[in-house]
Amino acid sequence: MDMKRTLRIAYAAIVLGALAVPALTMPFQKPADTENLSPAPTLKAADGGLNLCAGEAAEAYIADRFGLHDTLRSGYGLLSAEWLKTSAEPAVIVGHSGWLYGADTVGDATGAGTLSADALRHAVHVLELMRSYCTEHGSRMIFACAPDKVSVYPQYLPMRYVHTGGQNNLDGLMQAFTHANITVCDLRKKLTDAAAESEYPLYYLRDSHWNGDGAMTAFAALMRSAGHNDQNLPQAHRMVSSTHSGDLWEMLMPGVSNPEEEPAFGIPNNHTEAPDSTAALRRTVQPHAKGSLLFFGDDFAEPMIPFFAECFGEAAFSLEMPCHIDLLETQPADYVFVEIAEKRIADLLTQAPVMPAPAAEKSGVLHELSGIAPPTAHSETVGGYLHIYGDFDARYSDHEAVLVTVGSGDSARTYEAFPCCETALLGLDSPASNCYSLYLPADALAGESTVGIAVMRDRQTYLLGEAAL
């Protein structure tokens, strides 16, 4: 009996001791993220009364500074990934053969689209308006969607992710392009075909992006679409180092190093940064190359920048939103490349490109409507523009164009707006199809306090009413 009692006490002591270790080490542990720590709780509220949220604040304070927090989290992640073949991090999916995927990209592989047919058609129209502006300025625009890793390598997903048989966003977008006058470089097909033949993976196993091999494949495809000299860069000597730490791995196992192969190419380095280059707009000059390029993209474009910079006499790269395509006003370019990641297709509709709104005319039969929700209009001054945005009755979401009229009578001027929903400015979580956004000269209102909103549909104009700014 004494032996059993002793064993029970020893067991309890071991368990309590193990549970106490994180708390006891709190004073000696420095959290990895020191910039986003919850503040210490206080019993006194800002108004001098009792802080009724002190308990929640204390819980957040302790959770951020819990001893061995990162170690325990990484250990649990390793146990789940290696033994249970599941992910302890909801944003990461553990696949087969060491492949990791972002949970927000699974719909790309299962065919679960999130955008409506109207939204996809509007996204294409956004690009059509951009293409028209580029053409007016003597530039040729090429659009490319960087496929998510799961679209190129779906075979490593867990078996529970089954294709629904439906279209995903990129499928719908490519179908909508069939009726548009836009040059599209189909990177999904190029990378999928290349992946089937390559002895090397084109994407990192533990990162959400393509690696150097994938970046070179995408670069070569874009250059072929443009018909521009690629300086034989795809044939450059390939090198490999084990230095890349994947973003998905770091989410799953914080603090645990697991570098993977980083492919690179021995390309020439004849380009230099232009004197007026900035972090927001990187400019390069290559004295031995011809042609000029204006590139708009996201983080998938980053590893391709040295390749493009080596192949164009002058190049400018912007990886920020919104897309300031009005740079063509001051920097003419032979080519304009627009790249967006597959999982960000909806972003084509969340921020209107910055450029002067094109003039437009109301045509066909004019319908004056009643009994509908009145349109809204908001404005802000951005640089030398007046940015006007808002929404209108959702029953007219299937429009073909949105027209905004400033002034009245002989002085009235009508412009076509982008079918974009400024989600951040309107406080929305996702874009709606009954929104508009456009940029006008700063003095366009000339004392007016309202704008008229109309939509085009089936070659007819529907007057939705006036909105006060």
For 93-122, what is each residue's pLDDT tens digit?
999 999 999 999 988 888 887 899 999 999
Return the pLDDT at 346.
95
Return the pLDDT at 417.
98
How big is the chain by its Cα radius of gyration, in Å? Answer: 27
318 touches 328 (CB < 8 A): no
Return the pLDDT at 81.
47
pLDDT band at 408 (very low <50, low <70, confident <90, very high): confident
pTM of the model: 0.83
pLDDT band at 59 (very low <50, low <70, confident <90, very high): low
Say what percent of the chain tops pLDDT 90: 67
Checking if the pLDDT of 254 tops 90, the result is: no
Return the pLDDT at 170.
95
Per-residue CA distances from 104 to 153, 236, 352, 354 (Å)? 15, 34, 24, 28
Checking if the pLDDT of 153 tops 50, the result is: yes
* Tens-digit pLDDT profile for residues 414-462: 999 999 999 999 999 989 999 999 999 998 888 888 999 999 998 899 9
* Tens-digit pLDDT profile for residues 320-345: 999 999 999 999 999 999 999 999 99
Per-residue CA distances from 244 to 103, 203, 212, 240 (Å)? 21, 12, 11, 10
Checking if the pLDDT of 86 tops 70, the result is: no
341 touches 188 (CB < 8 A): no
Checking if the pLDDT of 42 tops 60, the result is: yes
Return the pLDDT at 394.
95
Return the pLDDT at 349.
97
183 touches 225 (CB < 8 A): yes
pLDDT top residue among 57 and 290: 290
Average pLDDT, the chain: 87
Return the pLDDT at 226.
98
Checking if the pLDDT of 30 tops 80, the result is: no
Q: What is the average per-residue pLDDT within 216-228?
A: 98
Return the pLDDT at 326.
97
Sequence letter at residue 344: R
Return the pLDDT at 12.
65
Q: What is the average per-residue pLDDT within 172-200?
A: 96
| Sheet order of strands, 450-457 included | 366-368, 460-468, 450-457, 401-406, 413-417
Return the pLDDT at 46.
63
Q: What is the average per-residue pLDDT within 52-74?
A: 57
Locate the domains of the chain by residue range.
2-40+54-100, 105-349, 366-468
Checking if the pLDDT of 69 tops 60, the result is: no
Q: Assign domain 366-468 to a CATH class.
A: mainly beta
Checking if the pLDDT of 139 tops 90, the result is: yes
Checking if the pLDDT of 136 tops 60, the result is: yes
pLDDT top residue among 165 and 354: 354
pLDDT band at 34 (very low <50, low <70, confident <90, very high): low
pLDDT band at 357 (very low <50, low <70, confident <90, very high): very high
Q: How far apart are CA 305 and CA 419, in angstroms?
A: 30
